[in-house]
Homo-oligomer: A and B are copies of this chain.
């Protein structure tokens, strides 16, 4: 077996390991959590994210664009997720008073109730799959390191 050698633009091994584990950890924990939600008859986490962002907003309504930005949903995914959630009575679409192209998505009382209900599964699931596996200070460190990966590139990023 020939000796491996690193090319000049290869990433440092530490970065590769961190990246591989990042993907694994996310997949593993997300898989466990989604499975718990499903077995509780609850919708996927993306529904929770939308409901939470709406609840957090001042009057329980946001423009689709803003929802997309906050949840990282693609425009067309948001559009169709809102369709489904509207059919389920969790949100309503309202005409935007100032921009006739746009809308306001408003959370309904049923939507608020469902968010709480999901949290009763989701919260303990986070405790079980994340909280139990890390000390508090470890979780803090992890969060700080992950934030560095999320940061927008300063500038000049072709």
Closest 6 CB pairs of A and B: A11-B127, A15-B131, A14-B139, A21-B146, A26-B26, A11-B126
* Neighbour of A18 across the interface among B19, B22, B130, CB < 8 A: B130
Please tell me if A133 contacts chain B, counting CB pairs below 8 Å.
yes
Q: How far is the CA of A10 from the CA of B143 in the complex (A)?
A: 18
Please tell me if A3 contacts chain B, counting CB pairs below 8 Å.
no
- If A22-B29, A28-B150, A72-B27 touch, whether A15 touches B145 (CB-CB below 8 Å) is no
A138 and B148 contacting across the interface, CB-CB below 8 Å: yes
Please tell me if A59 contacts chain B, counting CB pairs below 8 Å.
no
Q: How far is the CA of A121 from the CA of B154 in the complex (A)?
A: 22
* Neighbour of A134 across the interface among B9, B21, B123, B149, CB < 8 A: B149
* Neighbour of A127 across the interface among B12, B23, B25, CB < 8 A: B12
Q: Please tell me how many copies of the chain the complex holds.
A: 2
Closest CB in chain B relative to A5 CB, distance in Å = 13
Closest CB in chain B relative to A10 CB, distance in Å = 5
Please tell me if A57 contacts chain B, counting CB pairs below 8 Å.
no
The interface centre, meaning the residue of A7, A26, A72 with most chain B CB atoms within 10 A of its CB, is A26
Please tell me if A95 contacts chain B, counting CB pairs below 8 Å.
no
Q: For chain A residues 114-135, which have a beta carbon within 8 Å of chain B?
A: 123-124, 126-127, 129-131, 133-134
Closest to A148 in B: B133
B142 and A145 contacting across the interface, CB-CB below 8 Å: yes
